[in-house]
Chain A
Amino acid sequence: MEEGQAGRIDSAKRAAELWAAEDDLGSEGSKKAVNDYRVSEMRKLAFTFACVAAAVIVAGLSIIYGTMDLGFVECYEIIWDHLTGNIQDKLLDYIVVQERLPRVVAALVTGAGLAVAGCVMQSVLKNPLADPYTTGISSGAGFGATLAITLGVSIVGGNYAIVVNAFVFALVPMAVMLAVGKLKGASPTMMIMAGIAIMFIFNSFTTVLKLHADPDALALLYQWTVGTVSDCSWTDIPPMAAVVIAGTVVTQALSRKLNVLATGDDSAKAMGLNVENMRIMLLLLISLMVATVVSFTGLIGFVGLVAPHVCRIFVGADNRYLVLSSAMFGAVLLEVADLVGRTVIAPATLQVGVVTAFIGGPMFLYLIMRQKRSSW
C-alpha cells in the first residue's frame, strides 16, 4: 500500500478484500450460518407456540371448573359442536359457551392487549419500566370510571357509562404525553415524566371524588380498580377483540421498525425511520388498545409490565418475535390468573388483577435473580 510496506501482509487490506469479495451463499460456512439462524428463529417461535398450547389447555381447565361438573375433553367437544352448529345438549352448550367461555376469551384478549401495549411502550419509550400504569393510561381510566360511579357524571348514559368514561379519560394522559413529546422533540424520558405527572393528578382527583362517595359506589369502584374479567359477556368481546387483534397485527407489521428504533433516535433516523411520527403513531395505537380493554375489565396491572420482560428472557429482544410472544404469554398469564382467582379461595373469588401480581411478582423476581446479567 505505501512505500516501505512492500511484501508485508496487511490484515486490514486482507479484511477489505474479504468484504469486497462476492458473497458465496453456497459455501459450507454460509449454509451453516443460515441454518443456525433458522434454528434460532424456530427456537424463538417455539416459545410462542408453547404459550398457544398452554392457552388451550388452561381454557379447558378453566371451563370445567364450576358447580356443574364437566369433563376436560368434553368441554372442547361442546365448543367444537357449537362452532360446527351441531349442538348436542342445549344446557351444557349454554353453560360452556354462554356462561364460562366469555371470561376465558376476555382474559385472553385483555392479557394479550396489555402485554403488547407494555412491549411497545418499553421499546418505543426505551424504558424497561414503561407500561400502561407508569404512563398514566390506567389512572386516566380510573378517574373516568370514578366520575361515572360516584357522581354519575358520564359521557353516555346507561350500561356503558363506566366503559365510555374510562375509555375517554384513558386517552387523556397519552394526549398530554404526546403533546409534551411534540413540544420537546419527542424525548422518551420527557414523555414518561409527563405521564407520571398526569398519573398523580388523576389519582388525586380520584381520591377527592372518593371522599364523598356512598358505600355502594365505593364497593363498585373497588371492584373496578382491581380489575376482573368475570363480568365480561359475549357482547363486550367483539370491540375488545377487534381493537386488540388490529393493534397486535399493526405492531407485528412494524416490529422490524421497532428494532431499528431501539438502536437510538439518531441511528434510527439515519436508517430511514421517521422516529417522531413512528413513536406518536404507535403510542396512539396502543393507548387505544389499552383504553378499550381496561374500560371493560377495570384496571389490571402487572401483565403489561411483566409479560414482555419474561418473553425477552425466552425469545430475546428482537421485536419481530417479541410482540407475538408477549401477546400470547400475556394472554396465558391472565387466563391462569383468572382461574387461580376463582379456585384458590373458593367459593370466594380473588380478582384477576390481584392474582396477576401474586403470580407474576414472585415469578418475575425469580427470573430477575436467575439472570446472569447485572443490568437489564
Chain B
Amino acid sequence: MRIDIENMDAGYGDERILHGIDLHLEGPGLTCIIGPNGVGKSTLVKCMNRLLDPASGKVSINGRDIKEMTRREIAETVAYVPVQSEDVFAMPVFDTVLIGRANKSKWKTSPEDVVKVRKALEVLGISDLASRPFDELSAGQHQMVAIARGLVQESEILVLDEPTANLDIRHQVFVTSLMHEIAVSKGVMVVMISHNLNIASMFADRMVLMSKPGIVKEVGTAAEVVTAENISEVYDVDCEIVDHQGRPVILLDRYLS
C-alpha cells in the first residue's frame, strides 16, 4: 500500500494552503503528521482521499491517480475519521459505528457486521456505551466512537484527523499506541494528525513535520524529525530533547522568545 503526493498545491477557493507538497508513504505502520496550527495538516489528509481536489499536482493511491478512481474505489482503500462528528439525529453508539460497514455489506446488517462492530467497541474499551445515544456522550467518547467507525471499515489505509484531540492522556497514549499496534499486526497504513508530539514520538513509525507556509519540512523516524532545531524552528518554542525508552521526549522552556 502506498500514497504518493507529487508537487501538489491545494487550498480552498483561491487561497493556497499547501505549496509544492511531495510526500511518499509506503507500507504498513503509523505515520504521525505534526506541525503548528493552520499549516495545512487537515488539508493534506483531505487530499489523500479526494475530500479536497488539489489545485495542481498529483495524488495517487497504490500507484493509481485518485482522479481516475470513483469515490467508492477510494473509500474501499482509504477510511477517514474526521476531526468532528455530526449528530443531527443521534443513533445509539452501536448503530453509529455500524454505518461504517455500509461499503462492506448489503442493505441488511449481516452477522459479520454485528460481530465486527461489537469487537471494535471492545477493542476501544467502549463496549459499555453500545446502546447509549451518540449525542449524550462526551467529546472524548465521540472521538472513540468515530475511531471505531474508522476501524470497522477495514481498509488498508486509515486516515485520522486529530483522533486524540479531546482525549485524556491515558486515552491519548492508548489510541496512539493502538494505531501503531494495529498497523503492525494487521499490516495497514495508519496516517494520523497529532498535536501531542511526545506521544506521537513514542509510537510513530514515521513522522511528517509540516511548517509554514504549508510545506513538508521533514519526513523520517521520530528521532530524525523531533530534534531541538526542528521543533524550535517550526513551532517557535525553545526546548530540550531527552531520550526516554528509546524515543525523543520534548522538554519545553517556560519562556517564549
- Real complex partners, A and B? yes
Question: Complex formed: what's the CA distance from A253 to B108 in Å?
Answer: 11
Residues of A within 8 Å of B79, CB to CB, are 270-271
Bound: A318/B94 CA distance, A: 11
Contact in complex: A23, B181 (CB < 8 Å): no
With the chains together, A54 CA to B52 CA distance in Å? 49
For A256-268 the 0/1 string (1 means CB < 8 A from B) is 1101101110110
A3-B182 contact, Cβ under 8 Å, with A37-B109, A266-B46: no
**A256-B185 in contact (CB<8A):** no
- Binary contact readout A230-270 vs B (1 if CB under 8 angstroms, 0 otherwise): 00000000000000000000000101110110111011011
On whether the beta carbons of A269 and B123 are closer than 8 Å, the reply is no
How many Å lie between the Cα of A126 and that of B92 in the bound state?
Answer: 18
The SS class assigned to the B binding surface is helix
Taken residue by residue from 67 to 109, chain B's Cβ proximity to chain A (1 for < 8 Å, 0 otherwise) reads as 0001111111011101011101111101110011011000101
> What total of chain A residues lie within 8 Å of the partner, measured CB to CB?
54
Identify A20's interface contact among B84, B95, B96, B182, CB under 8 A.
B182
CA distance A23 to B82 in the complex (A): 27
Q: Which of A29-53 contact B (CB under 8 A)?
A: 29-30, 33-34, 37, 41
Complex interface: stretch among A4-12, A167-175, A330-338, A339-347: A4-12
Residue of B nearest to A259 (CB): B99
Q: How far is the CA of A272 from the CA of B103 in the complex (A)?
A: 8
B115 CB-CB contact with A under 8 Å: yes
> Quick check: A273 and B71 within 8 Å, CB to CB?
yes
Known interface pairs A12-B181, A267-B86; A19-B107 also in contact (CB < 8 Å): no
Q: Given that A23-B112, A267-B82 are contacting pairs, would A15 and B118 also be in contact in the complex, using a CB cutoff of 8 Å?
A: no
Identify which of B51, B125, B135 contacts A373 (C-beta below 8 A).
B135
Taking the nearest CB of chain A, how far is it from the CB of B103, in angstroms? Answer: 6
Question: In the complex, how many angstroms separate the beta carbon of A125 from the nearest chain B beta carbon?
Answer: 9
Asked, given contacts A16-B185, A266-B51, whether A272 binds B107 with beta carbons under 8 Å apart, the answer is no
Digit string of A130-163 for contact with B (CB within 8 Å is 1, else 0)?
0000000000000000000000000000000000
Contact with A along B9-41 (1 / 0, CB 8 A): 000000000000000000000000000000000
Residues in B whose Cβ lies below 8 Å from that of A256 = 102, 107
Instruction: Determine the distance from Cα of A339 to Cα of B256 in the docked complex, in whole angstroms.
Output: 75
Known: A257-B102, A271-B100, A373-B133. A13 touches B118 (CB 8 A): no
A270 touches B177 (CB 8 A): no
Q: Which residue of the partner chain, among A13, A18, A33, A320, contacts B115 with CB atoms under 8 Å?
A: A33
Question: Would you give the shortest CB distance from B154 to chain A, in whole angstroms?
Answer: 10
Asked whether, in the complex, the Cβ of A271 is within 8 Å of the Cβ of B153, the reply is: yes
Decide yes or no whether B136 CB sits under 8 A from chain A. yes
In the assembled complex, the CB of B199 is this many whole angstroms from the nearest CB of chain A, namely 12
| 343-376 of chain A: CB within 8 A of chain B | 373, 375-376
Contact partner of A122 among B76, B89, B111, B177, CB < 8 A?
B89
Expressed in whole angstroms, the Cα–Cα distance for A189 and B91 within the complex equals 22
Interface pair B91/A271, CB less than 8 Å apart:
no
For residue B72, which residue of chain A has the nearest CB?
A272
Complex partner residue of A2 from B76, B80, B111, B247, CB under 8 angstroms: B247
What are 29 A-to-B residue pairs whose CB atoms are below 8 Å?
A2-B245, A4-B245, A10-B181, A13-B181, A17-B185, A18-B122, A23-B119, A30-B118, A33-B115, A41-B109, A128-B89, A257-B102, A259-B99, A260-B99, A264-B84, A266-B46, A266-B80, A266-B82, A269-B49, A269-B50, A270-B49, A270-B75, A270-B80, A272-B75, A272-B102, A273-B71, A274-B71, A317-B95, A376-B89
Known: A4-B245, A15-B125, A375-B135. 5 other contacts (CB 8 A): A12-B181, A23-B115, A23-B119, A37-B94, A272-B73
Top 4 A-B pairs ranked by shortest CB distance?
A272-B75, A16-B181, A270-B80, A12-B177
